[in-house]
């Protein structure tokens, strides 16, 4: 038991520390003595990592370290915003579907099936083509891809709660459907919902950065980690640091969030239920 | 009999899902700013020329009428022609399918060959065994690294140094299998890494759960060899979640792997559909997405049949 607690702590601890450090560095970029991320010709073009420019410089001679740090913010904010939005849309729909059953349930689940059957990146690109390139495209794409995941998870979690006696008691004692759904059902699935939120955050980041890598997400001068890779790829043979360093930072963030969500999952449900992915 | 009923139900749901997918794509394509006529006629065409082009491809009719006509043809096996090349879409997709299917199969094999043994190691490995943290590490890294980052690293390494594998320059498998494998291995590894990590985790979790059950203890008490216990008792009973993960992964790969196909210039379905999307070649996108979704649904149905074989309780409502 003790060993299990320690293990859980370690995952949450490591993931949490990596995440906090990177996000703090990102937020503090303007006041840290790292140079101005937007200053063109701060140094020679495409110079390799050095003491003066720890992440090298890009094709315009901008210092790459503050650029990478700043990009962390947009990657995290966009993903968090989109996943929060998905949760707000999906949760009530799935809760009512689970509680009412019948036609509502069938309808909601068939919509989830349709969204789930579409190849995810294809859907992302399609959404980006409709919305037009930019941050809104990323948010919309993340919502469309994570919506079926949330609908399914919330519904099945709510279904197992809805069958329990206290829900029946609440209903028999005259609680309104709204109260049953939002107090009793929602109140008892907060745990799995939190885990799913953490997990979906990393899915969101992967979608955002992939779209930006394809040139359909963040547009210059704004940058996300994916768009830094997009603009760096043409120079990969002569300036690999432009691609590899933001790529590794992105990987580190996704790993940190995965560790965090694993730890949370374990803390909430020690039997370790596998999330659908 | 139960199984048949179960499968009929699944087939019906899949059919409804496919109709939903096609309708969604149809409407979505028409919502995109800039129609087909803007792409082929350019920005300075007269209104009359635009209208003529729209009429020629039936784009002037109400969306639902267009959809009805498309559905009727599709049900008869006709997926239409590319509006750009005028070639039948079905032929074009068939021409590109081998590359996508080969990539998916190779990535799946890599995922299984690497992921399942690593999962077993991390589930049954003793404390202090150096392979256990290694196996876990592969799982954590593989799930965290985005495919385009891993792909970019491989592209850099293999194009900078002569390491025996090629980046780009696709050769069909039938033409020269050795040259083909030299080109396809890197994209397959890029895609397979994520699957390997997923299978490592699922195998780990599932095997652990099985190992808490009494029949494993009984086998140990009987003095069965550890290898026999792992293969016959643990893996067999842990196989359903692993199969689910593997089949979902495979279905996802068959849907077209846009980024990796782009990065390594593999002329597969994903690349074809993305190009068509930029060209507003409605018929191609429509068919490509439908094929991708059908693959996905077909794979998950095959997985359902496999469950029933592996576990007779599936399909039994009790």
CATH fold, domain B89-308, is: MetI-like fold (1.10.3720)
Q: What is the rounded distance in angstroms from the CA atom of residue A74 to the CA atom of residue B257?
A: 25
CB contact under 8 A, B144 and A274: no
Among B31, B262, B292, beta carbon nearest to A119: B292
Q: What is the reported pLDDT for B223?
A: 81
B130 has a pLDDT exceeding 90: no
CA distance A188 to chain B (A): 25
- Segment A2-26 shows an average pLDDT of 78
Which residues have a Cβ under 8 Å from the Cβ of B170 and sit 6 or more positions away? B99, B180, B183, B184, B265, B266, B267
User: Cα separation of B146 and A137, whole Å?
Assistant: 19
Cα–Cα distance measured from residue A162 to residue A155, given in angstroms and rounded to the nearest whole number: 10
What ipTM does the predicted assembly reach? Answer: 0.84
Task: Give the count of Cβ contacts less than 8 A between chain A and B.
Answer: 136
Instruction: Provide the domain count of chain A.
Output: 1
For residue A262, the chain B residue with the least C-alpha distance is: B140
Domain layout of chain B by residue ranges: 2-75, 89-308
A164 CA to chain B: closest CA distance, Å? 19
Q: For the stretch A91-129, what's the b/e string if a residue is b when 16 or more beta carbons lie within 10 angstroms of its beta carbon?
A: bebbbbbbbeeeeebeebbebbbbbbbbbbbbbbbbbbb
Whether A38 maps to a domain, the answer reads: no
Nearest CA among B20, B106, B94, B57 for reference residue B291 = B94
The helix-helix angle for B282-310 and B2-31 (nearest 10°) equals: 160
CA–CA separation, A90 and A108 (whole Å)? 10
Q: What is the mean pLDDT of residues A36-43?
A: 74
pLDDT beyond 60 at A2: no
pLDDT band for B314, please (50, 70, 90 cuts).
low
Evaluate if residue B316 carries a pLDDT over 60: no
Q: Which two tokens stand for residue B197?
A: 């990590």
How sure is the predictor about B187, in pLDDT bands with cuts at 50, 70 and 90?
very high
Interface contact A247-B153, CB threshold 8 A: yes
Indicate if the pLDDT at residue B110 is higher than 90. yes
Which chain B residues have a beta carbon less than 8 Å from that of A111? Answer: 20
Contact B293 A119 (CB under 8 A): yes
CA distance B94 to B24: 23
Q: What is the pLDDT of residue B317?
A: 44
Q: What is the arithmetic mean of pLDDT over B20-38?
A: 82
Nearest-angstrom CA–CA distance, B206 and B200: 10
Instruction: Find the CATH number of the domain harbouring A217.
Output: 1.10.3720.10
Across the interface, do A113 and B201 touch by the CB < 8 Å criterion? Answer: no
Six-digit token string for B139: 């799982």
pTM recorded for the entire structure? 0.86
Under a CB-based contact definition with an 8 Å cutoff, are residues A106 and A118 in contact? no
Per the CB < 8 A criterion, the answer to whether A74 and A135 are in contact is yes
pLDDT on residue A277: 32
Q: Is residue A248 within 8 Å of B130, Cβ to Cβ?
A: no
pLDDT value at residue A138: 93
Instruction: Indicate whether A274 pLDDT > 50.
Output: no
For residue A228, the enclosing domain spans 8-30+62-270
Q: A179 lies in a domain?
A: yes
The Cα A18–Cα B113 span in angstroms is: 31
Taking 50 as the threshold, does the pLDDT of residue B72 lie above it?
A: yes
Residue B88 has pLDDT above 50, yes or no: yes
pLDDT at B1: 59
Q: What is the pLDDT of residues A208-253, one digit of tens each?
A: 999 999 888 888 878 888 888 888 888 888 888 888 899 999 999 9
Shortest Cα–Cα distance, A228 to chain B (Å): 11
A4 pLDDT above the threshold of 60: no
CB–CB of A268/A196 below 8 Å?
A: no
Reported as a pLDDT band with limits 50, 70 and 90, residue A1 is very low
Choose the weakest-confidence range: A267-271, B50-54, B190-194, B230-234: A267-271
CA distance A212 to chain B (A): 11
Among chain A, residues having any CB pair with chain B shorter than 8 Å are 110-111, 113-114, 117-122, 125-127, 129-130, 132, 202, 206, 209-210, 213-214, 226, 229, 233, 236-237, 240, 243-244, 247-248, 250-252, 254-255, 258-259, 271-272, 274, 277
Nearest to A149 by CA among A206, A188, A96, A111: A111
Q: Do A118 and B18 touch (CB under 8 A)?
A: no
pLDDT at res. B55: 81
Q: Which of A94-98, A198-202, B44-48, B203-207 has the lowest mean pLDDT?
A: B44-48
The pLDDT of residue A257: 92
Lowest-pLDDT range of A64-78, A190-204, B26-40, B62-76: B26-40
């Amino acid at each position: 038991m003790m060993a299990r607690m320690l293990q859980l702590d370690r995952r949450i601890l490591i993931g949490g520390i990596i995440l906090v450090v990177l996000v703090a560095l990102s937020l503090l970029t303007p006041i840290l003595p790292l140079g101005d991320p937007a200053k063109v010709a701060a140094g020679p073009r495409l110079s390799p990592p050095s003491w003066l420019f720890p992440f090298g410089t890009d094709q315009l001679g901008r210092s790459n370290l503050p650029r990478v740090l700043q990009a962390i913010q947009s990657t995290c904010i966009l993903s968090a915003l989109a996943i929060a939005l998905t949760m707000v849309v999906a949760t009530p729909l799935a809760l009512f579907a689970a509680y009412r059953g019948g036609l509502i349930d069938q309808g909601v689940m068939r919509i989830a099936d349709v969204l789930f059957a579409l190849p995810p990146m294809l859907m992302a690109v399609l959404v980006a083509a409709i919305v037009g390139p930019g941050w809104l495209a990323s948010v919309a794409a993340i919502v469309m891809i994570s919506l079926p995941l949330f609908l399914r998870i919330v519904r099945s979690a709510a279904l197992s709660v809805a069958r329990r006696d206290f829900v029946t008691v609440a209903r028999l004692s005259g609680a309104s459907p709204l109260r049953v759904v939002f107090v009793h059902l929602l109140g008892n699935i907060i745990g799995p919902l939190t885990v799913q939120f953490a997990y979906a955050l990393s899915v969101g980041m992967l979608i955002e950065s992939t779209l930006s890598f394809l040139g359909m997400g963040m547009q210059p001068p704004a940058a996300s980690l994916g768009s830094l890779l997009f603009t760096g790829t043409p120079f990969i043979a002569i300036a690999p640091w432009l691609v590899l360093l933001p790529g590794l930072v992105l990987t580190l963030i996704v790993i940190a969030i995965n560790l965090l969500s694993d730890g949370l999952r374990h803390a909430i449900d020690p039997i370790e239920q596998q999330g659908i992915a | 009999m139960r199984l048949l009923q179960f499968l009929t139900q699944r087939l019906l749901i899949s059919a409804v899902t496919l109709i939903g997918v096609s309708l969604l794509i149809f409407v979505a394509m028409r919502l995109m700013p800039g129609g087909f006529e803007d792409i082929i006629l350019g920005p300075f065409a007269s209104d009359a020329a635009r209208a003529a082009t729209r009429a020629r491809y039936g784009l002037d009719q109400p969306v639902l009428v267009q959809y009805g006509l498309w559905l009727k043809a599709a049900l008869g096996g006709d997926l239409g022609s590319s509006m750009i090349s005028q070639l039948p879409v079905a032929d074009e997709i068939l021409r590109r399918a081998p590359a996508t299917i080969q990539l998916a199969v190779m990535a799946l094999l890599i995922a299984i060959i690497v992921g399942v043994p690593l999962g077993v190691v991390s589930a049954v490995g003793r404390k202090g065994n150096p392979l256990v943290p290694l196996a876990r590490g592969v799982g954590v890294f593989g799930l965290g690294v985005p495919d385009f980052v891993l792909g970019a690293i491989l592209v850099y390494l293999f194009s900078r140094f002569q390491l025996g594998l090629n980046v780009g320059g696709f050769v069909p498998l039938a033409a020269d299998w050795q040259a083909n494998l030299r080109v396809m291995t890197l994209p397959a590894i890029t895609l397979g890494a994520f699957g390997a990590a997923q299978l490592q985790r699922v195998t780990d979790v599932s095997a652990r759960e099985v190992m808490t059950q009494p029949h494993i203890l009984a086998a140990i008490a009987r003095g069965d060899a550890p290898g026999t216990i792992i293969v016959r008792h643990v893996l067999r009973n842990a196989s359903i979640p692993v199969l689910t993960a593997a089949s979902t992964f495979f279905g996802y790969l068959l849907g077209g792997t846009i980024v990796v196909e782009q990065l390594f210039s593999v002329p597969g379905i994903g690349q074809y559909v993305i190009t068509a999307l930029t060209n507003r070649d409605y018929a191609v996108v429509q068919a490509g997405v439908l094929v991708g979704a059908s693959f996905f649904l077909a794979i998950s149905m095959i997985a359902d049949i496999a469950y029933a074989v592996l576990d007779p309780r599936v399909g039994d409502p009790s």
